[in-house]
Structure 1
Amino acid sequence: MGFTKFRWICTFIGLVFSVVDIASDLLLSLQYFREQQYTWFALTLLFVLVGSLCMQIFSYCWFREDNNGEEGTESLTTNVGLLHLLHMGFFTRYYDLLKKSFSSVWRANSGTSTQMLFGLAADLSMLRLMETFLESVPQLLLQAYIMLEHQRTSKIQYLSMAVSFLNVAWSIVDYWRCLRRSLPNAEEMPGGIPTVVYLLYKTLTITARVLSLTMIIMLSSWNLLVLGSLWLAGTVWAHMIKTDFCTFRCLEELYRAIVGVILVFTFFNIKGKKTKKHMSIYYVLSTLHNFSAPLFLFLFMPKTVESDYFLPVTVFILTSNTMGLGFLILYYKALHPGNRVESDAVDGMVTLNTNNSSPSRRFDRFLS
């Protein structure tokens, strides 16, 4: 299947979500600054900058890698480098994909190959996934903490959280569909029920995770060390299995650190191996951690039981986590696109079905 009009519209919607997500977070940080809540202002702004910075670094390095050795690219590389320095590289990629695919899907006269378009889309989906777990998900955690612990809410805060949640959901589904489309010998992920079930599995388990971590932090700010330990464990695991995603060593270390962040909130398969055992262990430990958070809050801060939020949030964590795992089982048992020769999907790999594609050469290193 080629790059369709529906795919083009989805790409445009993804761009809108990204812009609105960043804009709402910047407005929220400005509100905190005006209220002299400088810590919240700094953290809200920090998540935006960290997510954007990491996207620009990977985006520019991939551009250099894709154009390495080609004549007449020095000036282009300089201009693209300047755009990335201004944190506009990610949006430049969106513009490039939308422009090149427009003629193909709306005028049917494009000289750009379908594989090239899906290569650009695959790079974008991976960058968006990084941004989601470096900016949107931590933003949800921060704002949930502010709302529950300090009982401070505002319309902009609600807007920021709602848009962040939508951005998380959209990025996850878009990435997974791109991954399925790009894996060799794999069936493309069908729309409809399978997509909805996969979306529910991810969003419900991530939401339960965010709320449980919020409760852990509410016990004591020292429990931020728990988050640090979870991140460190995920990063060390990425080191132990020797990921090979990047050409440069320093970039590989950054990638492993980002994998560590993602693993704090959800399972992320980064090697071309069957993951049933690893995924099972991950979600058993994650569920125990999620269920223990309200219990610890009840035991060590009994006054919180009298609050308006404790019971609803506790019930939501238990229900959301259980339902999310139920949708996980349903998806992999009944709805996962089957293929006898297909290896298990690698969350960090987007390999195009062409030997000449630069993204293909880049992501093929996963299987080495």
Structure 2
Amino acid sequence: MEESFPFKYSLLEYLFTLLGLVCFLVDIALDIWTVVSFYQDGAYVYMTVMIVLLLGSSVLLQVFSWLWYSDSLETNLETKVEEFANRHILIKPLHFLQLGVYLRYAGVIEISTTRFLQKTNSFTEGVAVYLNHDLQMLRLFEAFSESAPQLIIMICRILQSGELELNTGLKILSSAAAIAFTVAMYHRNMRSFLQEKRKMSWLSTGVYFLWNLLLIIPRVTALALFCSVLPCYIIAHFLSLWMLLVLGVWSQKTDHMESPGWEWLYRATIGLIWYFSWFNVSTGNIKLKTIVYYSVMGLDTMMLLGFWCWKVFEYTGCWSSLNPYVVIPTLLGFHVAGILLKIIYYRWFHPNCDEQKIAKPVEQPNIRQGAAFYNMATDSLESDTVDATLAQPVTAVLKRGRNMAANFF
């Protein structure tokens, strides 16, 4: 596929791409270390839950990655590493071996390195945007299917073992920051779909990161506190609320996947994200949907903290350093501060844009390659120059990117 605009890549963005790969590898090493630590401490229940989370999250990512690759295997894959894997029929085996995400990272790194070092347009921006968008979305799925539940387990384990110290508190904060950073990087990737507002300042990204962090901390902490005193009820709480959230996603009439059956997997995954944080999946009255979501989740968080406060006085150990009359107002204060900062972000920093101004992909015949390529009709003038008789249905990768950009902006 080709795109009608060049791939512009700064040093900072290139470094963030490399940092993402490094963090991904470090995260795997830390996961293995955590499982081994639970085994050495005799915490077999925690170890089992961790293994289930790791395997479940990995399988989820590989399924989505394979489905999205399947949508584009009939067209020419742009990167050499992907072409090599496809030519030798390795894409499906790599995903079966839980290595599909590494293949995507290799493709993004190849494009980024080629453009940054050679300073040429060997790859157009459309190629990089869509490859990076799918990779960032997989990282987002991983953050809420693996990292957020792991953080709850870590906090719960610390509370029950009475090892609440400064260094453990810093570990918890850094883990929450990593989740918020993943969310911020995904939404920063969305800026590439705006032709007239490509520059999203790092200040706006910082504000976006901060309000997500302020909202994720109280939510995850409340779940961990509830789990620490009523561990048998956390699964019932998750399933009941998650099913309600999935129905909420279904009511938005999402159309992200090619198959209606796989669309339900996408809705189930979004429901999992909503269990921890808001993620817009449709256009329409976003303010009303946001108000309803935060009202429901705010009440749920207060309910979790209320149950913890009710049961906490039956416990000893590290609980002596946790005064509910201090913890609960502090967490609610974080939540309110996050809401206020989110309002500030959308009032002054969010690059609002009419949906019609988001780059629209149009498929046209390419005589030189004997295959199809895609032009971006970015404004009304360019749209008038596109022959409507040549337009064909857009591919799934283009539809996914544009739909998510329309939801975000």
Shorter-chain TM-score tier: 0.7 to 0.9
Q: What corresponds to 1:278 in structure 2?
A: 289
Does structure 1 residue 333 correspond to structure 2 residue 338?
no
Report the Cα distance in structure 2 between the residues aligned to 1:250 and 1:157, rounded to whole angstroms. 42
Structure with higher Rg: it is 2
- Contact 2:195–2:359 (CA<8 Å) still a contact in 1? no
* C-alpha displacement of 1:79: 0.5
User: Could you state the TM-score of these two structures normalised by the residue count of structure 1?
Assistant: 0.87
Pick one of 294, 309, 316 that aligns with 2:330: 316
Question: How many pairs were matched up?
Answer: 360
Q: Deviations over 1:305-364 (max 9, x none)?
A: 96212445434312211211111111112222233x2489xxxxxx86543285213445
Pick one of 30, 33, 39 that aligns with 1:33: 39
Bigger mean CA offset, 232-241 vs 218-227: 218-227
Report the Cα distance in structure 1 between the residues aligned to 2:236 and 2:18, rounded to whole angstroms. 39
Q: Cα–Cα, structure 1 residues 186 and 29, in superposed 2: closer, same or farther, change >3 Å?
A: farther
Pick one of 108, 113, 120 that aligns with 2:119: 108
Report the Cα distance in structure 2 between the residues aligned to 1:38 and 1:186, rounded to whole angstroms. 54
Q: Deviations over 1:60-85 (max 9, x none)?
A: 11111112266999953720111111
- Contact 2:176–2:216 (CA<8 Å) still a contact in 1? no
Q: Cα–Cα, structure 1 residues 77 and 174, in superposed 2: closer, same or farther, change >3 Å?
A: farther
Q: Deviations over 1:246-290 (max 9, x none)?
A: 112332121111111001111111112231001011112222332
Does structure 1 residue 78 correspond to structure 2 residue 89?
yes
Q: Residue type matched to 2:72 in 1?
A: D
Q: Residue type matched to 1:361 in 2?
A: K
Q: Cα–Cα, structure 1 residues 83 and 74, in superposed 2: closer, same or farther, change >3 Å?
A: closer
Q: Deviations over 1:19-67 (max 9, x none)?
A: 1122111110111112221111111122222221111111111111112
Helix, strand or coil: the match of 1:62? helix
Bigger mean CA offset, 91-100 vs 67-76: 67-76
Does structure 1 residue 151 correspond to structure 2 residue 189?
no
Which structure 2 residues correspond to residues 1-368 of structure 1 after superposition, within 5 A? 2-68=8-74, 76=87, 78-152=89-163, 161=172, 164-182=175-193, 184=194, 187-188=197-198, 190-220=200-230, 221-303=232-314, 307-311=320-324, 313-339=327-353, 341-342=354-355, 353-355=360-362, 356=374, 358=395, 359-363=397-401
Report the Cα distance in structure 2 between the residues aligned to 1:352 and 1:58, rounded to whole angstroms. 24
| Ranges in structure 1 where 5+ consecutive residues have no aligned partner | 345-350
Q: Residue type matched to 1:309 in 2?
A: L
Q: Residue type matched to 1:88 in 2?
A: L
Q: Cα–Cα, structure 1 residues 23 and 343, in superposed 2: closer, same or farther, change >3 Å?
A: farther
- Contact 2:177–2:213 (CA<8 Å) still a contact in 1? no
Report the Cα distance in structure 2 between the residues aligned to 1:251 and 1:3, rounded to whole angstroms. 34
* C-alpha displacement of 1:293: 3.0
Q: Cα–Cα, structure 1 residues 58 and 316, in superposed 2: closer, same or farther, change >3 Å?
A: same
Q: Cα–Cα, structure 1 residues 99 and 275, in superposed 2: closer, same or farther, change >3 Å?
A: same
Q: Cα–Cα, structure 1 residues 104 and 354, in superposed 2: closer, same or farther, change >3 Å?
A: farther
Report the Cα distance in structure 1 between the residues aligned to 2:217 and 2:229, rounded to whole angstroms. 19
- Contact 1:273–1:343 (CA<8 Å) still a contact in 2? no
* C-alpha displacement of 1:213: 1.4
Report the Cα distance in structure 2 between the residues aligned to 1:319 and 1:237, rounded to whole angstroms. 27
Report the Cα distance in structure 2 between the residues aligned to 1:224 and 1:310, rounded to whole angstroms. 26
Q: Cα–Cα, structure 1 residues 302 and 154, in superposed 2: closer, same or farther, change >3 Å?
A: closer
Q: Cα–Cα, structure 1 residues 106 and 74, in superposed 2: closer, same or farther, change >3 Å?
A: closer
Helix, strand or coil: the match of 1:307? helix
| Ranges in structure 2 where 5+ consecutive residues have no aligned partner | 1-6, 78-82, 363-373, 375-393
Report the Cα distance in structure 2 between the residues aligned to 1:70 and 1:16, rounded to whole angstroms. 29
Q: Deviations over 1:192-250 (max 9, x none)?
A: 32211111111110111011112222342224311211111111112222221111233
Report the Cα distance in structure 2 between the residues aligned to 1:95 and 1:362, rounded to whole angstroms. 21
Identity, in percent, stands at 24
Q: What corresponds to 2:391 in structure 1?
A: none
Helix, strand or coil: the match of 1:78? coil
Q: What corresponds to 1:347 in structure 2?
A: none
Report the Cα distance in structure 1 between the residues aligned to 2:245 and 2:134, rounded to whole angstroms. 23
